[in-house]
């Protein structure tokens, strides 16, 4: 690989939006940003007054809008980086970012195979970037999103997903709630299982591309379910969240 080195660029905060009580979407202005594919991530680096640095990786939540990028950051208790980004970072203050990173867990608009997105918790972030990129590209590739969240209050992008499920033709959105479901919800809270994936995903013979993102246990479960339902392992792309502070 003779790729040019990825350089650290200075980013400044433009806007911070609340997604849930513990998660914020951050809109960053990054002069010189080279663009990215949905599903890629960035490294974010903080530098203290004494030169100490800490860096973490975050998925990009939206397609690039010129030099503007969006991250959605979940506050990690006792975390080192996420509490700063959520509570302390002020518009105008510099933070460094480096990317885009990752060439596997990405969706390309030129690929017309049906797409299944399966999100566990904050694993929805790179999948939302794909759904947004689909609309931005005017793609008619059929997408289905199955989104597992603890409760309705834990759903990221709730209003936008409601709007997209209504307006983005060919995008279906289904929720699985593990702890508490909305009132008038049919069914009980439960962990995602074969019936959810079988009913709200695609039949394996359509050879969809499947993207699964979430905590390790969730991803293991869903990836195994998909393989069990006949999907080719190579059509199942996964990204797992370890603890990132």
In the complex, which residues of this chain contact another protein (CB under 8 A)?
1-6, 46-50, 52-57, 80, 84, 88-90, 93-95, 101-105, 216, 220, 223-224, 226-227, 233-234, 236-238, 240, 242-245
Angle at 110 between CA 109 and CA 113, to 5 degrees: 85
Tell me the closest approach of the beta carbon of residue 158 to another protein, in angstroms.
Answer: 28
> Which phi and psi (to 5°) does residue 219 adopt?
-65, -40
Tell me the closest approach of the beta carbon of residue 17 to another protein, in angstroms.
Answer: 20
Tell me the closest approach of the beta carbon of residue 170 to another protein, in angstroms.
Answer: 25
Give the nearer residue to another protein in terms of CB position, either 169 or 234.
Answer: 234
Whats the size of the chain, residue-wise? 245
Give the nearer residue to another protein in terms of CB position, either 49 or 183.
Answer: 49
> Which phi and psi (to 5°) does residue 78 adopt?
65, 15
Give the nearer residue to another protein in terms of CB position, either 52 or 167.
Answer: 52
Distances (CA, A) of 110 to 36, 94, 114, 194, 228: 15, 36, 12, 30, 28
Tell me the closest approach of the beta carbon of residue 131 to another protein, in angstroms.
Answer: 21
> Which phi and psi (to 5°) does residue 48 adopt?
-85, 170
Give the nearer residue to another protein in terms of CB position, either 47 or 112.
Answer: 47
User: 3-class DSSP state for residue 90?
Assistant: coil
Tell me the closest approach of the beta carbon of residue 240 to another protein, in angstroms.
Answer: 5
Give the nearer residue to another protein in terms of CB position, either 73 or 95.
Answer: 95
Tell me the closest approach of the beta carbon of residue 182 to another protein, in angstroms.
Answer: 31
The helix or strand, by DSSP H or E, that contains position 221, with its residue range, turns out to be helix 216-228
Give the nearer residue to another protein in terms of CB position, either 69 or 173.
Answer: 69
Distances (CA, A) of 214 to 109, 149, 165, 184, 199: 23, 10, 21, 27, 20
């Amino acid at each position: 690989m003779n790729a040019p080195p990825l350089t650290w660029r200075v980013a400044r905060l433009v806007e911070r939006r609340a997604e849930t009580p513990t998660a914020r979407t951050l809109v960053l202005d990054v002069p010189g940003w080279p663009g990215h594919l949905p599903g890629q991530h960035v490294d974010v680096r903080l530098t203290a007054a004494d030169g100490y640095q800490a860096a973490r990786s975050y998925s990009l939540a939206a397609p690039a809008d010129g030099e503007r990028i969006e991250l959605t950051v979940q506050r990690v208790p006792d975390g080192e980086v996420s509490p700063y980004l959520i509570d302390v970072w002020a518009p105008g203050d510099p933070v460094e970012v480096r990317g885009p990173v990752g060439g596997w867990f990405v969706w390309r608009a030129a690929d017309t195979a049906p797409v299944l997105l399966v999100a566990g918790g904050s694993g929805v972030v790179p999948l939302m970037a794909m759904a947004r990129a689909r609309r931005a590209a005017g793609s008619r590739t059929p997408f289905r999103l199955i989104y597992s969240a603890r409760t309705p209050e834990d759903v990221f992008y709730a209003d936008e997903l409601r709007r997209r499920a209504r307006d983005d033709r060919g995008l279906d959105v289904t929720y699985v709630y593990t702890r508490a479901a909305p009132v008038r919800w049919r069914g009980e809270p439960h962990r995602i299982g074969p019936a959810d994936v079988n009913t709200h995903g695609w039949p394996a013979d359509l050879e969809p591309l499947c993207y699964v993102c979430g905590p390790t246990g969730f991803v293991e479960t869903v990836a195994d379910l998909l393989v069990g339902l006949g999907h080719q392992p190579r059509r199942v792309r996964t990204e797992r969240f370890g603890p990132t502070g």
